[in-house]
Structure 1
Amino acid sequence: IVVLDVNDNAPVFTQELYIGQILENAPEGSVFLSVVATDQDAGPNGDISYQLSQVVDQSHSAFAIDPVSGEIKLTKPLDFEAAENSPIPENSLPGTVVALFTVRDRDAGANGKISCALEDQLSFSLRPAYKNYYELVTVSTLDREEMARYILTVTAADAGSPPLTTTQTFTVDISDVNDNAPVFNQTSYTMYVHENNVPSVLVGAVNASDADVGSN
């Protein structure tokens, strides 16, 4: 009897959390982190490929991962001073990771066990990432023309009795994409002009507006 393999095992990373550091003046192509996963299946069922998922905007991402080796490298120059408040494109898909943060409590036992909650918010949510790390993610489509900035409040509470809490606000700016066509302020225009006018005489004017900003 020959037992054949079926694809019944998901890949498993060798670590629950990977943390990398890179200097802002590192050259493009610098490898600063490697991830490793294994799969107990055999043959093609055990082959692993890596990709970065839920990046805010792949076309503007400063990082890329080698699908075979799992090496994460720099694809464009970094700017530490500019990276703090990078806006989120309004066409980001639900599930896009906006921020990763950690919370610490110096107490021990239940007094140091932390839970975080996001104030009622329809466009974002919190999900645990690893131990006291949390991800702030989008849960719905965004529209900069309706809301260009979100002020989010996260409350952290320990499990002590009585519990102690603290709050932290996050400012999320939404960047514009060219998702609105120009619109004329009238559905039709009627203009009158005398015959025998000289060329280039002003006949009238039309007006259109666009809800996007900047060059869009």
Structure 2
Amino acid sequence: MDVNDNPPEFVRSSLDFSLSESTPVGYEITRLNATSKDDGNNAVIRYQLMDHDNYFSLSATEGTLTVKSALDYERQQVYYLTVKAYDLGEPPLSATAVVTVKVIDENDNAPEFPADGFRVSVKENEPPGTPLSVKVLATDADSECLLWTPTPDSWSFAPARDRELKDSYTPHRNGHGSRTTVKITVLDVNDCVPQFDRAEYAVVL
């Protein structure tokens, strides 16, 4: 009679996969395979996922590994799954394999600007073309984010600024699915000479 003295052996004990975070639930990643040199029940193999069973599922009889829950790169970028193969012998013998699943980022998050926008001040006697000292920065949960970068010309005014005519400007800048406001306050400069309401006053005493 056969004695259960040969533990299961995985064809490959280490596997690596890369999946997009948009991979649908139910997607079959791979089918694990382990064998035994014994006979009968001693050679019947069952499979068990030892961790991360909230996100992945493993068929006990076929060893098929599938996506169980939606993946999210911003939540976790890599999973190390420990898979156990055991036989039905008495006592059962087992072996383990490691499956590495790397999550690939997708552009599914829009850039975010601060809720209160940006503010900058400029003196009214600055010459046209003077760059404004403001940095428009946004954050993005994705791994890559392409942002619009202002140049000095794009943040300057062609006409001369005069606080007595207008004391603030509010240009808008749009990104992909995002919007922010930059409030520019014109600071007063003592550039207006006092003026009498008439050039000559006549008084009779």
Q: TM-score, normalised by structure 1?
A: 0.56
Give the match for residue 134 of structure 1.
Answer: 63
How many residues are aligned here?
A: 130
Which position in structure 2 is the counterpart of 1:193? 122
| CA apart distance, 1:206 | 1.9
> Counterparts of 2:30 and 2:88 in 1: how far apart (Å)?
24
Change (3 A) 1:89 1:140: same
Structure 2 unpaired stretches of 5+:
1-14, 147-205
The letter of the residue matching 1:171 is T
Residue equivalent to 1:43: none
Question: Match for residue 213 of structure 1?
Answer: 143
User: Is the CA contact 2:16–2:99 (under 8 Å) kept in the aligned structure 1?
Assistant: no
1:98 maps to which residue?
29
RMSD over aligned CA atoms reads 1.9
Higher RCO by CA contacts (8 Å cutoff, separation 6 or greater): 2
Tell me, what secondary structure is at the counterpart of 2:23? coil
Structure 1 residue runs of 5 or longer lacking an equivalent are: 1-83
The whole-number CA distance in structure 1 between the counterparts of 2:145 and 2:123 is 38
1:66-108, Cα deviation, whole Å (9 max, x unpaired): xxxxxxxxxxxxxxxxxx7441000111101111221111110
Cα distance in 2 between the residues matched to 1:105 and 1:152: 22
SS at match of 1:122: coil
Secondary structure in 1 aligned to 2:79?
A: strand
Q: C-alpha displacement at 1:205, in angstroms?
A: 1.6
Q: CA deviation at 1:135?
A: 1.4
1:122 is matched by which residue type in structure 2? Answer: N
Q: SS of 1:91's equivalent?
A: coil
Q: Rg: which structure is higher?
A: 2
Which residue identity lines up with residue 101 of structure 1 in the other structure? L
Q: Look up the equivalent residue of 2:39 and give its one-letter code.
A: A
Paired with 2:98 and 2:17, the residues of 1 have a C-alpha distance of: 16
**1:157, distance to aligned residue in structure 2 (A):** 0.7
For 1:161 and 1:145, the matched residues in 2 are separated by 45
SS at 1:110 equivalent: helix
2:95 match: secondary structure = strand
For residues 174-199 of structure 1, the C-alpha deviation after alignment (integer angstroms, 9 at most, x for no partner) is: 00111011112443222211113221
User: For residues 176 and 167 of structure 1, what CA distance do their matches in structure 2 show?
Assistant: 29
Q: Does 1:183 align with 2:112?
A: yes
Partner SS state of residue 184, structure 1: coil
Q: Name the aligned partner's letter for residue 74 of structure 2.
A: E
Q: Secondary structure at the match of 2:121?
A: coil
Q: What's the CA shift for 1:151? A: 0.3
What TM-score, normalized to structure 2? 0.58
Please state how far the C-alpha of 1:119 moved relative to its aligned partner: 1.2
1:151 matches 2:80? yes
Secondary structure of 2:35's partner? Answer: coil
Conserved? CA contact 1:103–1:133, under 8 Å: no
**Percent of aligned pairs with the same amino acid:** 35
In 1, distance between residues paired with 2:79 and 2:66?
A: 13
Residue 79 of structure 2 corresponds to residue 109 of structure 1 = no
Alpha-carbon distance between aligned partners in 1 of 2:59 and 2:144, rounded to the nearest angstrom: 34
